[in-house]
Structure 1
Amino acid sequence: MLTVETRQAVHPEHARGMDTAELRRHFLASEMFRPGEIRLIYTHYDRFTMGGAVPAGAPLVLDVVAETKTPNFLDRRELGVVNVGGTGTVSAGGESWTLACGDVLYLGMGSGPVTFAGEGRFYLVSAPAHRRFPSRLVRLSDSKEVKLGATETSNKRTINQFIHPLVMESCQLVLGYTTLEDGSVWNTMPAHVHDRRMEAYLYFGMTPEARVLHLMGEPQETRHLFIANEEGALSPPWSVHAGAGIGGYTFIWAMAGDNVDYTDMEFIQPKDLR
């Protein structure tokens, strides 16, 4: 079963007047992981698509998505797959890959129908592509590891870069995930914006009662979302992003837009946030 929800782009002036329910309707990504379903959110932020696939005992096939107006979803797109569940398999273009929890698979443009099977809970991110790059499975040991933050500022964390220029080539999709050290809560601080790229998050590895306070909005007009395990957030190019969580958590970040320069960002110091 395939379900697709379309999200229109929101102007920052519109976001200033949103109440909690409206903010969540436009920017919170929830209920992406339902057993036996593929659920996608097709956005008008750089035509970025995010979603989940949970085989739950029977294979699921991602093929035609009406919103793209192409015979196959990947005819003019690339796809990143992150397994946040048990061991599963992904098959496309005559190849098959086994993904353990935390593994990342990149599928290039033109890979054809994609089949998900096994015990995996697959997080999906996709962006338009202009050129085909080879599909590649990137395990944690293959990723680029970056240590940032400090215990004193409650943001000591490990960043693992997977679909990233330092690891492999893609058209415009950039993806990795960040894990907080014990006792740290801020997933990034100072907050930042990057006007040339949108970004999306998926928070996972959380207990059912835990929440992340996800900060968004313009630097002088901040807003927030309380986000549960396996929920995500859409971050427009004009929005800051940072967050603090209760207990341990990991978040997957994925970006699409004008460039793939991970460091192309503008930091907003805490004293300048409102």
Structure 2
Amino acid sequence: MEIRYPSHPQDVKRYTTDQLRKDFLIQEIFVPGETKMVYSHFDRIIAGGICPTAPLALEAGKEIAADFFLQRREIGIINIGAPGKVLVDGAEYPLKKTDGLYIGMGAQKVTFTSDDPSNPAKFYFNSTPAHKTYPTVKILVDNIVPAALGSISQSNERKIYKYIVPGGVESCQLVMGMTVLAPGNMWNSMPCHTHERRMEVYFYFDLAPESVVFHLMGEPGETRHVVIRNEEAIISPSWSIHSGVGTGNYTFIWGMAGENQKFDDMDHIPMSCLK
């Protein structure tokens, strides 16, 4: 498990491109036959990917000092690859592409498999500390009614799929979902916002091979950008904007942790304030 420590916004103003990428960008998330985990000290979220060519168990490391991974944690999972299964204490949950699964605190044995090891599943996940057990729930993307936002005139026509939110699939603090940009649209989360009460992780996927996303971060008056490629993620501190523009349309998964779970708790930034 890789550890990432918090960064002060005053320090980030002086970061080089390499330092920004080292502290915030998460690469090589899906390695066949392996589990990738990044532990961020921003609200102690763990983001990562599991790409099983043989059964892979979710293991606790010394970084969380637990007898098993979900002893004091919860986890949200979205499969972005070929079909696969997640076994939770003996119960089996098949997941096709963009189906999700929430597993509550206390599940002891979690194992990931691919239906076809030569064409493996890709299980992206976010995990946060938890203090209460909520039921394990399979989330079928076909059963989610997306919210339609944006417009083609602003190049941000998109659909928002809410997987783990209050009033839907309940959790202690994890909030998770997916945004799908329509063809011909490139902007996400613009006009931008911050939410001082929560951090966020963005995971970008379904980019064309030569496409990139210019992810914008930093304080509104001191913005920076990080170039992100397909199946890479970025940590967004609570003090930072989180927006981006791509060279083509794409999809991203967002996961949040922190003080509350209100999806619309946003401090909107006037376009005139961006620098």
Taking structure 1 as the reference length, the TM-score comes to 0.97
Structure 2 gaps of 5+ residues are 115-119
The corresponding residue for 1:34 is 31
Length, aligned pairs only:
270
The corresponding residue for 2:252 is 251
The corresponding residue for 1:208 is 209
Work out whether 1:136 is the aligned partner of 2:132.
no
Q: 1:166: how far off?
A: 3.2
CA distance in 1 between partners of 2:152 and 2:131 (Å):
42
The corresponding residue for 2:89 is 93
Structure 1 gaps of 5+ residues are none
Q: 1:207: how far off?
A: 1.6
Query: Aligned partner of 1:92: which letter?
Result: V
Q: Is the 8 A contact 1:144 1:162 kept in 2?
A: no
Q: Is the 8 A contact 1:143 1:167 kept in 2?
A: no
The corresponding residue for 1:267 is 268
1:58-77 Cα shifts (integer Å, max 9, x gaps): 11111222100011110000
The corresponding residue for 1:53 is 50
1:170-215 Cα shifts (integer Å, max 9, x gaps): 0000000001111111012101100000000100001221100100
Q: 1:14: how far off?
A: 0.9
1:12-38 Cα shifts (integer Å, max 9, x gaps): 011010000000000101111101100
Instruction: Please list every run of at least 4 consecutive aligned residues from structure 1 whose deviation after the TM superposition is greater than 2 angstroms.
Output: 141-144
Deviates more, 1:181-190 or 1:11-20: 181-190
Query: Aligned partner of 1:212: which letter?
Result: V
Q: Is the 8 A contact 1:144 1:166 kept in 2?
A: no
Q: 1:114: how far off?
A: 1.2
SS of alignment partner, residue 26 of structure 1: helix
Query: Aligned partner of 2:33: which letter?
Result: G
CA distance in 1 between partners of 2:257 and 2:170 (Å):
14
The corresponding residue for 1:110 is 106
The corresponding residue for 1:43 is 40
1:212-264 Cα shifts (integer Å, max 9, x gaps): 01000000000010000000110000000110111221000000001100000
The corresponding residue for 1:72 is 68
1:34-91 Cα shifts (integer Å, max 9, x gaps): 01100100010110000000002x1111122210001111000000111010000001
CA distance in 1 between partners of 2:49 and 2:204 (Å):
13
**Residue 195 and residue 236 in structure 1: after superposition, are their counterparts in 2 closer, same or farther (change >3 A)?**
same
CA distance in 1 between partners of 2:190 and 2:60 (Å):
40
Query: Aligned partner of 1:180: which letter?
Result: L
CA distance in 1 between partners of 2:47 and 2:154 (Å):
31
Q: 1:144: how far off?
A: 4.1
Q: Is the 8 A contact 1:144 1:167 kept in 2?
A: no
The corresponding residue for 2:12 is 15
CA distance in 1 between partners of 2:20 and 2:269 (Å):
22
